[in-house]
Amino acid sequence: MSRAHHGRISHLAQFFTNRQDCRILRRDAYKVLLRAHDQGPQGQDYFVKIYRHPHLFHSRVIDWKLVGGGQEYRMCKKLRSLGIATPEPVGFATDRNWAGYPRQSLYASIWLQDSHTLDAILRGQHARARIDASGWQQFIGALGRFVGRLQLKLVNAKDLNTMNILVMWPPGDKPRFFLVDYERTVILRKYDLARFMNALSQIGAGLIPVFEGDIEQLCKGYASVVDHIDARDLTRQVRAASREKSCLWQQEIDGLFDAIGQRMHDRGDSKAP
């Protein structure tokens, strides 16, 4: 039994099983991310996130009717009401068994054409990344202002990182930033720099490998929209936290490869003597 939110398209539930016109972007044990194409008259492309709910404790349930995809849809609508730029939400659907238990849920939004993740731009995978030094500094400053405006609205995006910010950067125009992935986003009651430092340091950790010097510009942009913040002191704190986070990420990656290598060796697949 499926139940879909009345969104722009009424057949969201088809994506639970029909992947014929979809490209899988990422898959793990409990989620699948898709770029889905609607075969309707408009031929619209959608971003679709499908949650699996084999065990209820794997889901952060606020409302039994809004597990997974429904919660993300509700948060996206709330963010847009606060003036936060996000891809336009379409709706959500929930697939339940005979007893009403949610087996799967999904969230869908309009696919942002000509957008790139911040990570892709930092890695030079987008032509707009190849600009002069002055233009790049302006870009990083604008990124800092975007994060600052999020936090002026008391939006605590716990998963804010270079993969969860989309950038539209038309030639001859200013970059526009969009927040995506609201699974662990909450609205706080008051501003708390200590809690928001995590978001800034996650962005900073993405700059560390090549653009560590730009953390100062990132913090200047942030401080330009958030009152009573000393940009130099903020830069010092964010740089230190970013380095620590970058080291932890590298250790996790090294540990993952070590584990893969050990499994191959245990199976006798390793060519090492």
pLDDT, one tens digit per residue, over 77-103 is 999 999 999 999 998 888 877 776 778
Domain borders along the chain are 2-110, 115-254
Class of the CATH-defined domain 115-254: mainly alpha
The pLDDT confidence band at residue 174, using thresholds 50, 70 and 90, is confident
Domain 2-110 = CATH 3.30.200: yes
CA distance 251 to 254: 5
Of 94-98, 199-203, 248-252, least confident by mean pLDDT is: 248-252
CA distance 91 to 73: 6
Tell me the residue type at 133.
A
Domains 2-110 and 115-254 agree in fold: no
Exposed (0-12), middle (13-18) or buried (19+): which is 127, by Cβ within 10 Å?
A: exposed
Mean pLDDT of 240-254: 71
CA nearest neighbour of 96 among 57, 74, 70: 70
Q: What is the mean pLDDT of the chain?
A: 79
pLDDT, one tens digit per residue, over 210-219 is 787 889 999 9
pLDDT, one tens digit per residue, over 47-65 is 999 888 765 544 444 444 5
